[in-house]
Amino acid sequence: MNPLAQISRFLLTVPLIAVSTTLLHAQRPIYASELIQDFFLDDARMQQHMQKSSGQEDALITKKDIDEFRKGICLAWDNYRRYPPNQGIKELCVKLISGNAPSRINALPTKQKPLQEDSHSACLNAKDYEGCMRYQAGRSETKADNCKPGKWCKATAGIDILGKPKIEGWWMKSTPESQSVGYLRPKPRKVLVRGKTDRYIAREMVIRYYQAPRAGTAPTTTTIGSSTTNCYDAGYSFNCTTTPATTITSPGVAARPGGVVQFTVTTVIDCHEKTVGNHRGNQLDGKWVKLSKTSHQKLANNFCPVVESLELSSFSKYAE
Protein backbone atom coordinates (compact mmCIF):
# COMPACT_ATOMS: atom_id res chain seq x y z
CA MET A 1 0.00 0.00 0.00
CA ASN A 2 1.17 3.53 -0.76
CA PRO A 3 2.80 4.88 2.47
CA LEU A 4 0.89 8.12 2.04
CA ALA A 5 -2.39 6.22 1.88
CA GLN A 6 -1.41 4.41 5.09
CA ILE A 7 -0.87 7.76 6.79
CA SER A 8 -4.25 9.02 5.58
CA ARG A 9 -6.13 5.96 6.80
CA PHE A 10 -4.30 6.14 10.12
CA LEU A 11 -5.45 9.72 10.59
CA LEU A 12 -9.08 8.68 10.17
CA THR A 13 -8.90 5.95 12.79
CA VAL A 14 -6.64 7.69 15.36
CA PRO A 15 -7.20 11.42 14.89
CA LEU A 16 -5.38 12.46 18.06
CA ILE A 17 -2.05 10.93 17.07
CA ALA A 18 0.43 12.87 14.92
CA VAL A 19 -0.83 14.36 11.65
CA SER A 20 2.66 14.69 10.07
CA THR A 21 5.79 13.66 11.92
CA THR A 22 7.30 17.11 11.61
CA LEU A 23 4.41 19.38 12.60
CA LEU A 24 1.88 17.50 14.74
CA HIS A 25 2.79 15.47 17.80
CA ALA A 26 0.75 13.15 20.01
CA GLN A 27 1.65 15.10 23.11
CA ARG A 28 0.57 18.53 21.82
CA PRO A 29 -1.38 18.34 18.52
CA ILE A 30 -2.94 21.75 19.00
CA TYR A 31 0.37 23.55 19.50
CA ALA A 32 1.86 21.92 16.40
CA SER A 33 -1.24 22.64 14.32
CA GLU A 34 -0.66 26.36 14.79
CA LEU A 35 2.14 25.98 12.26
CA ILE A 36 0.21 24.04 9.61
CA GLN A 37 -2.81 26.35 9.68
CA ASP A 38 -0.77 28.99 7.83
CA PHE A 39 -0.95 26.94 4.63
CA PHE A 40 -3.87 24.61 5.42
CA LEU A 41 -5.98 25.93 2.49
CA ASP A 42 -3.10 25.92 -0.02
CA ASP A 43 -3.05 22.62 -1.97
CA ALA A 44 0.45 23.18 -3.37
CA ARG A 45 2.04 23.89 0.02
CA MET A 46 0.13 21.04 1.65
CA GLN A 47 1.43 18.73 -1.06
CA GLN A 48 4.99 19.92 -0.49
CA HIS A 49 4.68 19.37 3.25
CA MET A 50 3.22 15.89 2.76
CA GLN A 51 6.02 15.04 0.32
CA LYS A 52 8.66 16.01 2.86
CA SER A 53 6.88 14.18 5.68
CA SER A 54 6.25 10.93 3.81
CA GLY A 55 9.13 10.81 1.36
CA GLN A 56 6.72 10.37 -1.53
CA GLU A 57 7.09 12.09 -4.89
CA ASP A 58 4.74 15.03 -5.52
CA ALA A 59 3.20 13.21 -8.48
CA LEU A 60 2.02 10.39 -6.20
CA ILE A 61 0.16 12.75 -3.86
CA THR A 62 -3.39 13.24 -5.15
CA LYS A 63 -6.04 15.81 -4.24
CA LYS A 64 -7.89 13.03 -2.40
CA ASP A 65 -4.76 12.34 -0.32
CA ILE A 66 -4.49 16.03 0.54
CA ASP A 67 -8.12 16.20 1.67
CA GLU A 68 -7.76 13.02 3.74
CA PHE A 69 -4.69 14.58 5.37
CA ARG A 70 -6.68 17.75 6.13
CA LYS A 71 -9.56 15.66 7.47
CA GLY A 72 -7.29 14.02 10.05
CA ILE A 73 -6.15 17.44 11.24
CA CYS A 74 -9.77 18.66 11.40
CA LEU A 75 -10.78 15.66 13.52
CA ALA A 76 -7.94 16.41 15.94
CA TRP A 77 -8.99 20.05 16.21
CA ASP A 78 -12.61 18.98 16.67
CA ASN A 79 -11.78 16.49 19.40
CA TYR A 80 -9.81 19.09 21.35
CA ARG A 81 -12.60 21.67 20.84
CA ARG A 82 -10.17 24.20 19.47
CA TYR A 83 -10.04 25.54 15.94
CA PRO A 84 -7.91 28.23 14.30
CA PRO A 85 -9.66 31.62 14.05
CA ASN A 86 -9.57 31.38 10.23
CA GLN A 87 -13.21 30.94 9.13
CA GLY A 88 -12.15 29.45 5.79
CA ILE A 89 -10.39 26.60 7.63
CA LYS A 90 -13.41 25.97 9.84
CA GLU A 91 -15.75 25.92 6.85
CA LEU A 92 -13.58 23.41 5.00
CA CYS A 93 -13.39 21.23 8.11
CA VAL A 94 -17.19 21.23 8.39
CA LYS A 95 -17.38 19.90 4.84
CA LEU A 96 -14.65 17.30 5.32
CA ILE A 97 -15.96 15.75 8.56
CA SER A 98 -19.70 16.18 7.99
CA GLY A 99 -20.10 12.46 7.29
CA ASN A 100 -18.57 11.45 10.63
CA ALA A 101 -19.82 11.67 14.22
CA PRO A 102 -21.50 14.97 15.16
CA SER A 103 -18.95 17.77 15.27
CA ARG A 104 -18.53 20.32 18.03
CA ILE A 105 -17.52 23.05 15.61
CA ASN A 106 -20.79 24.92 16.12
CA ALA A 107 -20.11 25.08 19.85
CA LEU A 108 -16.80 26.88 19.37
CA PRO A 109 -16.79 30.52 20.50
CA THR A 110 -16.85 32.91 17.55
CA LYS A 111 -17.71 36.56 17.18
CA GLN A 112 -20.19 35.74 14.45
CA LYS A 113 -21.50 32.36 13.39
CA PRO A 114 -20.37 31.84 9.78
CA LEU A 115 -22.91 31.05 7.12
CA GLN A 116 -21.22 27.76 6.22
CA GLU A 117 -21.80 26.44 9.76
CA ASP A 118 -25.48 27.38 9.52
CA SER A 119 -25.64 25.64 6.15
CA HIS A 120 -24.06 22.51 7.61
CA SER A 121 -26.63 22.39 10.40
CA ALA A 122 -29.48 22.96 7.95
CA CYS A 123 -28.27 20.15 5.69
CA LEU A 124 -27.32 17.52 8.28
CA ASN A 125 -30.59 15.61 7.88
CA ALA A 126 -31.05 16.24 4.16
CA LYS A 127 -31.14 13.19 1.87
CA ASP A 128 -28.83 14.97 -0.58
CA TYR A 129 -26.26 16.71 1.63
CA GLU A 130 -24.10 17.95 -1.24
CA GLY A 131 -27.11 19.29 -3.14
CA CYS A 132 -28.37 21.04 -0.03
CA MET A 133 -24.97 22.65 0.56
CA ARG A 134 -24.82 23.85 -3.05
CA TYR A 135 -28.24 25.46 -2.59
CA GLN A 136 -27.11 27.14 0.64
CA ALA A 137 -23.96 28.37 -1.12
CA GLY A 138 -26.12 29.82 -3.87
CA ARG A 139 -28.12 31.75 -1.28
CA SER A 140 -24.93 33.25 0.15
CA GLU A 141 -23.74 34.20 -3.34
CA THR A 142 -27.04 35.95 -3.98
CA LYS A 143 -26.58 38.05 -0.85
CA ALA A 144 -22.98 38.83 -1.76
CA ASP A 145 -23.79 39.66 -5.39
CA ASN A 146 -22.59 43.07 -6.51
CA CYS A 147 -25.62 43.52 -8.76
CA LYS A 148 -27.71 46.49 -7.69
CA PRO A 149 -31.54 46.42 -7.96
CA GLY A 150 -32.73 47.90 -11.24
CA LYS A 151 -29.26 47.71 -12.84
CA TRP A 152 -27.96 45.29 -15.48
CA CYS A 153 -24.99 43.12 -14.52
CA LYS A 154 -23.46 39.76 -15.46
CA ALA A 155 -25.19 36.90 -13.62
CA THR A 156 -22.88 34.71 -11.54
CA ALA A 157 -23.63 31.24 -10.17
CA GLY A 158 -26.23 31.14 -7.42
CA ILE A 159 -29.90 31.85 -6.72
CA ASP A 160 -31.80 34.97 -7.77
CA ILE A 161 -34.29 36.95 -5.67
CA LEU A 162 -37.09 34.57 -6.71
CA GLY A 163 -35.23 31.51 -5.38
CA LYS A 164 -34.45 30.16 -8.86
CA PRO A 165 -31.00 29.33 -10.29
CA LYS A 166 -29.50 32.28 -12.14
CA ILE A 167 -28.81 31.96 -15.86
CA GLU A 168 -25.07 32.22 -15.42
CA GLY A 169 -23.23 34.39 -17.91
CA TRP A 170 -26.35 36.28 -19.09
CA TRP A 171 -27.06 39.92 -18.32
CA MET A 172 -29.42 40.12 -15.34
CA LYS A 173 -31.60 42.84 -13.82
CA SER A 174 -33.54 42.34 -10.59
CA THR A 175 -36.53 44.48 -9.64
CA PRO A 176 -37.49 43.66 -6.03
CA GLU A 177 -40.51 46.02 -5.92
CA SER A 178 -42.22 44.07 -8.71
CA GLN A 179 -40.68 40.74 -7.65
CA SER A 180 -39.26 40.15 -11.11
CA VAL A 181 -35.95 39.27 -12.75
CA GLY A 182 -34.94 39.70 -16.38
CA TYR A 183 -32.14 37.82 -18.16
CA LEU A 184 -30.70 38.87 -21.53
CA ARG A 185 -28.48 36.63 -23.63
CA PRO A 186 -25.19 38.51 -24.13
CA LYS A 187 -24.86 37.83 -27.85
CA PRO A 188 -27.52 37.31 -30.57
CA ARG A 189 -27.72 34.14 -32.66
CA LYS A 190 -28.58 33.43 -36.27
CA VAL A 191 -32.07 32.12 -37.02
CA LEU A 192 -33.05 29.31 -39.35
CA VAL A 193 -35.74 30.72 -41.67
CA ARG A 194 -37.03 28.65 -44.60
CA GLY A 195 -33.88 26.58 -44.59
CA LYS A 196 -31.40 29.49 -44.56
CA THR A 197 -29.40 31.18 -41.81
CA ASP A 198 -27.93 34.23 -43.58
CA ARG A 199 -30.62 36.85 -42.98
CA TYR A 200 -32.13 36.85 -39.50
CA ILE A 201 -30.64 37.27 -36.02
CA ALA A 202 -32.38 36.79 -32.68
CA ARG A 203 -31.73 37.77 -29.10
CA GLU A 204 -33.48 36.04 -26.22
CA MET A 205 -34.71 37.49 -22.98
CA VAL A 206 -36.08 35.42 -20.11
CA ILE A 207 -38.55 37.08 -17.75
CA ARG A 208 -39.36 35.68 -14.31
CA TYR A 209 -41.88 37.15 -11.89
CA TYR A 210 -43.81 36.11 -8.81
CA GLN A 211 -47.53 35.55 -9.34
CA ALA A 212 -49.74 35.73 -6.26
CA PRO A 213 -52.34 32.97 -5.82
CA ARG A 214 -55.95 33.80 -6.64
CA ALA A 215 -59.05 32.01 -5.41
CA GLY A 216 -61.61 30.92 -7.99
CA THR A 217 -65.16 32.24 -8.14
CA ALA A 218 -68.31 30.36 -9.15
CA PRO A 219 -70.54 31.50 -12.05
CA THR A 220 -73.28 33.95 -11.04
CA THR A 221 -76.63 34.90 -12.58
CA THR A 222 -78.17 38.36 -12.14
CA THR A 223 -81.78 39.30 -13.12
CA ILE A 224 -82.47 42.92 -14.08
CA GLY A 225 -86.06 44.22 -13.94
CA SER A 226 -89.11 41.92 -14.19
CA SER A 227 -91.04 40.16 -16.92
CA THR A 228 -93.88 41.98 -18.75
CA THR A 229 -97.01 40.69 -20.54
CA ASN A 230 -98.91 42.60 -23.25
CA CYS A 231 -102.35 41.48 -24.53
CA TYR A 232 -104.57 42.77 -27.38
CA ASP A 233 -108.06 41.99 -28.63
CA ALA A 234 -108.07 40.06 -31.93
CA GLY A 235 -111.90 40.33 -32.23
CA TYR A 236 -112.71 36.80 -31.32
CA SER A 237 -109.84 36.16 -28.80
CA PHE A 238 -107.08 37.80 -26.79
CA ASN A 239 -103.44 37.43 -27.84
CA CYS A 240 -100.80 37.94 -25.13
CA THR A 241 -97.02 38.23 -25.38
CA THR A 242 -94.70 37.93 -22.36
CA THR A 243 -91.18 39.41 -22.29
CA PRO A 244 -88.97 37.85 -19.60
CA ALA A 245 -86.68 39.89 -17.31
CA THR A 246 -83.11 40.51 -18.50
CA THR A 247 -80.66 37.94 -17.14
CA ILE A 248 -76.88 38.41 -17.08
CA THR A 249 -74.62 35.42 -16.38
CA SER A 250 -71.01 35.79 -15.24
CA PRO A 251 -68.85 32.74 -15.97
CA GLY A 252 -66.72 33.15 -12.85
CA VAL A 253 -62.94 33.02 -12.59
CA ALA A 254 -60.76 29.92 -12.41
CA ALA A 255 -58.43 29.57 -9.43
CA ARG A 256 -54.78 30.48 -10.06
CA PRO A 257 -51.87 28.97 -8.12
CA GLY A 258 -49.14 31.22 -6.81
CA GLY A 259 -45.47 30.88 -7.67
CA VAL A 260 -42.75 31.96 -10.07
CA VAL A 261 -43.82 32.37 -13.70
CA GLN A 262 -41.25 32.33 -16.50
CA PHE A 263 -41.54 33.13 -20.20
CA THR A 264 -39.18 33.95 -23.07
CA VAL A 265 -39.22 36.98 -25.35
CA THR A 266 -37.27 36.53 -28.59
CA THR A 267 -36.45 39.64 -30.61
CA VAL A 268 -35.92 38.70 -34.27
CA ILE A 269 -34.25 41.15 -36.67
CA ASP A 270 -34.58 40.88 -40.44
CA CYS A 271 -31.20 42.15 -41.67
CA HIS A 272 -32.47 42.60 -45.26
CA GLU A 273 -35.81 44.34 -44.67
CA LYS A 274 -34.51 46.21 -41.60
CA THR A 275 -37.50 45.21 -39.51
CA VAL A 276 -37.88 43.66 -36.09
CA GLY A 277 -40.51 41.48 -34.42
CA ASN A 278 -40.89 40.51 -30.78
CA HIS A 279 -42.12 37.01 -30.00
CA ARG A 280 -43.46 35.75 -26.70
CA GLY A 281 -42.76 32.07 -26.72
CA ASN A 282 -43.34 31.09 -30.35
CA GLN A 283 -46.00 33.71 -31.12
CA LEU A 284 -45.47 37.13 -32.71
CA ASP A 285 -46.39 39.87 -30.22
CA GLY A 286 -47.96 42.65 -32.28
CA LYS A 287 -46.51 43.40 -35.72
CA TRP A 288 -43.12 43.67 -37.41
CA VAL A 289 -41.91 47.29 -37.23
CA LYS A 290 -39.14 49.31 -38.83
CA LEU A 291 -35.80 48.78 -37.14
CA SER A 292 -35.19 52.54 -37.08
CA LYS A 293 -38.15 52.97 -34.71
CA THR A 294 -36.65 50.66 -32.09
CA SER A 295 -33.56 50.50 -29.86
CA HIS A 296 -32.14 47.51 -31.77
CA GLN A 297 -30.39 49.44 -34.56
CA LYS A 298 -26.95 49.14 -32.93
CA LEU A 299 -27.42 45.41 -32.44
CA ALA A 300 -28.22 45.02 -36.15
CA ASN A 301 -25.24 47.17 -37.19
CA ASN A 302 -22.84 45.02 -35.17
CA PHE A 303 -24.11 41.55 -35.96
CA CYS A 304 -25.96 41.55 -39.29
CA PRO A 305 -22.67 41.75 -41.23
CA VAL A 306 -21.39 38.60 -39.47
CA VAL A 307 -24.67 36.70 -39.19
CA GLU A 308 -23.28 33.46 -40.64
CA SER A 309 -20.55 33.29 -37.97
CA LEU A 310 -23.04 33.35 -35.08
CA GLU A 311 -24.25 30.32 -33.18
CA LEU A 312 -27.62 28.87 -34.25
CA SER A 313 -30.66 29.95 -32.23
CA SER A 314 -33.18 27.42 -30.97
CA PHE A 315 -36.01 29.72 -32.15
CA SER A 316 -37.70 27.77 -34.95
CA LYS A 317 -41.04 29.48 -35.71
CA TYR A 318 -40.02 30.31 -39.30
CA ALA A 319 -37.77 27.30 -39.94
CA GLU A 320 -40.09 25.75 -42.57
Q: How confident is the model at residue 312 (pLDDT cuts 50, 70, 90)?
A: very high
pTM value surpassing 0.85: no
C-alpha closest to that of 134 among 156, 116, 153: 116
Instruction: Spell out the alpha helix ranges (H) of 98-176.
Output: 115-123, 129-144
> What is the pLDDT, as a whole number, of residue 34?
57
C-alpha closest to that of 5 among 49, 68, 55: 68
The rounded distance, in Å, linking the Cα atoms of 88 and 96 is: 12
Residue 309 has pLDDT above 50, yes or no: yes
Q: How confident is the model at residue 258 (pLDDT cuts 50, 70, 90)?
A: confident
Q: Which residues touch 200 (CB under 8 Å, ≥6 apart)?
A: 190, 191, 193, 268, 269, 270, 271, 307, 318
* Percentage of the residues of the chain whose pLDDT score is greater than 70: 69
> What is the pLDDT, as a whole number, of residue 187?
94
Report the residue count for the chain: 320
> What is the pLDDT, as a whole number, of residue 255?
86
Q: Where on the phi/psi map is residue 60: left (φ > 0), alpha (ψ -120 to 50), or beta?
A: alpha
In terms of pLDDT, which residue wins out, 192 or 242? 192
171-196 core/surface letters (b: 16 or more CB in 10 A; e: else): bbbbeeeeebbbbbbeebbbbbbeee
